[in-house]
Amino acid sequence: MRGQAGPPLRVAVTALGCKVNYAEMADLAGILAAAGCEVVPDDQPADVRILNSCTVTLQADATTRQRLHRLRREDSGAHLVLTGCSVDGNPSVYLRVDGDGRRLPHPGVDSVFSNGEKDGIAQHVLSIGASRAALTARPTTPPSRSRAFVKIQDGCNHRCTYCSVWQARGAARSIPPAAVVERVLEAAEAGHAEVVLTGVDLGSYGRDQATTLAQLLATLLDTVGEGTRIRLSSVNTNDISAELIALNAHPQLCSHWHMPLQSGSDTVLRAMHRGYRRAQYVRVCAELRALDPDTEFTTDVMVAFPGESTSDHADTIRLIEDTQMLAVHAFRYSPRPGTAASELSVRVDDRVARTRNREVRRAASASGHARRLRAVGRRDRVVWDRAQDGTAHGLTATYLEVVTDLAPATRPGCDSLVELTGLEGDVLRARLVQP
């Protein structure tokens, strides 16, 4: 491990799961960079590695364990720090208590921090060898990302019967509006063409601050310059108010709405304790597209929830088709310890669950293909994410993936006006339009 007098401490951060995790790691990386650390991509050697974990499903927990093993194997000399929801959801897996009552990490991990202890990670990393001089500096967004992720909310007050995230994240709480505005303006002034607002339950923003997500968003859209657009990471249908829908016509708001569905069946939604029903979901989609027909929707679908029938599953397929989804993250139900759904005895056969998962993916693929074909011939602005092998890759405001020939105007972090000329698989080919 390098000492204080040597070269800067090399730190790599990795986030799994939701965009909140990515926003938290962006903040942490900014603090460490301001304090003199060298923040490096996670595929490069590092002195310290930080993994922000996810526990939303059994597979997410397994992915966390697999990533830990891989990081340890590929960079055995690094100090490995684990944090995030998998720690809170599975404390006995990563922590043990010695005879003196001290919490110690299990072998394979050097340091473990729960969600509530994340604020201490920077100081811990700096104590390993980097300078402490600038620890109080404002977080900055690492230059490796083309868009800035700004966390504005944490925690969740819902008690969906399948979910343990609320246990890992705690009660819903919002960042004060003035602080959010400051962070977003800093990102815009740093040259980011897109800012993504994230939260564990983003739609609940402001309920503890005497405001709403719509009011905050309206302020941000009126404050940022024309060179920065704003995207919402994920909002539940029942939190999308008329005021929020009205903002979909604003040219600087990305007309892409990720609205978790989970199921298209009212029977299943009721059993899940979701706060909306099928008709409301369809209505909100229609009202958003009435303001901007190019609006795209992405969602999450859980198949094989306990008791899900063939007709319940068919309702989900029809909703995907009716709302013309661009993309669907489909996954099979997995019981989480301590949740109400884990006590339900009527389980869907695993073979049936796998079949239903494939059918949802197939419906989503067909729907997404139709939406992408519809976009051919349109002009749109693209924020470029990466450049490789002579091509630039980026996203439109509506979350369409675009590729074009590499040019000075297409370097990561910049945005360009393009014409969408064709479809290659799930990617739209484009040509630059001269301003």
In DSSP terms, 405 is beta-bridged to 391
Q: What was the pLDDT predicted at 75?
A: 85
In DSSP terms, 82 is beta-bridged to 51, 112
CATH of the domain at 269: 3.80.30.20
Confirm whether 4 is domain-assigned.
Answer: no
How many angstroms separate the CA atoms of 422 and 428, rounded?
6
pLDDT tens sequence across 409-418: 888 888 999 9
Q: What was the pLDDT predicted at 430?
A: 96
Q: What was the pLDDT predicted at 178?
A: 96
> Measured on CA atoms in the order 221, 227, 233, 235, is the torsion positive or negative?
positive
Residues 353 and 413 in one domain: no
Confirm whether 2 is domain-assigned.
Answer: no
CATH of the domain at 92: 3.40.50.12160
**Two structure tokens written together for 288:** 């958003």
- Residue 227: count other Cβ atoms within 10 Å of its Cβ: 12
Residues 21 and 162 in one domain: no
DSSP string, 130-164: S--TTTTSPP---TT-SSEEEEEEE------TT--
The residue whose two tokens read 């104590």 is 127
Amino acid at 216: L
How many angstroms separate the CA atoms of 167 and 169, rounded?
6
> Measured on CA atoms in the order 40, 150, 111, 90, is the torsion positive or negative?
negative
Quick check: 201 and 274 in contact, CB under 8 A? no
Sheet strand arrangement including 173-174: 173-174, 148-154, 194-199, 229-232
pLDDT tens sequence across 361-416: 999 999 999 999 999 999 999 999 888 889 999 999 999 999 999 888 888 888 99
How many angstroms separate the CA atoms of 357 and 332, rounded?
7
Identify the domain containing residue 343 by its residue range: 148-374
How many angstroms separate the CA atoms of 48 and 26, rounded?
16
Residues 351 and 422 in one domain: no
Task: Return the ∠ at Cα 338 (arms to 335 and 344), rounded to 5°.
Answer: 50
Residues 268 and 254 in one domain: yes
Residues 114 and 186 in one domain: no
Q: What was the pLDDT predicted at 142?
A: 47
User: Which three-class secondary structure state does DSSP give residue 317?
Assistant: helix
How many angstroms separate the CA atoms of 154 and 165, rounded?
11
Residues 267 and 206 in one domain: yes
Q: What was the pLDDT predicted at 190?
A: 86
Confirm whether 140 is domain-assigned.
Answer: no
Residues 183 and 239 in one domain: yes
> Measured on CA atoms in the order 355, 361, 365, 371, is the torsion positive or negative?
positive
pLDDT tens sequence across 327-365: 999 999 988 888 999 999 899 999 999 999 999 999 999
Q: 359, 374, 389 — which closes off a domain?
A: 374
Residues 52 and 120 in one domain: yes
What are the mean pLDDT values of the chain's consecutive 10-residue runs (435 residues total)? Answer: 61 87 83 84 87 84 87 86 86 72 72 86 79 44 66 92 85 95 92 92 95 97 91 96 96 96 98 97 98 97 97 98 96 89 92 97 97 97 89 95 91 90 96 84
Quick check: 300 and 274 in contact, CB under 8 A? no
Confirm whether 81 is domain-assigned.
Answer: yes
Confirm whether 19 is domain-assigned.
Answer: yes
Amino acid at 61: D
pTM: 0.82
The residue whose two tokens read 């006590």 is 343
Residues 166 and 256 in one domain: yes
Nearest to 211, CA basis, from 179, 256, 165: 179
Confirm whether 133 is domain-assigned.
Answer: no
Residues 51 and 178 in one domain: no
In DSSP terms, 113 is beta-bridged to 83
Confirm whether 415 is domain-assigned.
Answer: yes
DSSP state letter for 188: H
Task: Say how many domains are in the chain.
Answer: 3
Q: 374, 393, 416 — which closes off a domain?
A: 374
Confirm whether 252 is domain-assigned.
Answer: yes
Q: What was the pLDDT predicted at 99?
A: 61
CATH of the domain at 387: 2.40.50.140
Residues 118 and 154 in one domain: no
How many angstroms separate the CA atoms of 16 and 101, rounded?
31
Q: 96, 128, 160 — which closes off a domain?
A: 128
Would you put residue 262 in left (φ > 0), alpha (ψ -120 to 50) or beta? Answer: left
Residues 94 and 214 in one domain: no
Nearest to 61, CA basis, from 51, 50, 75: 51
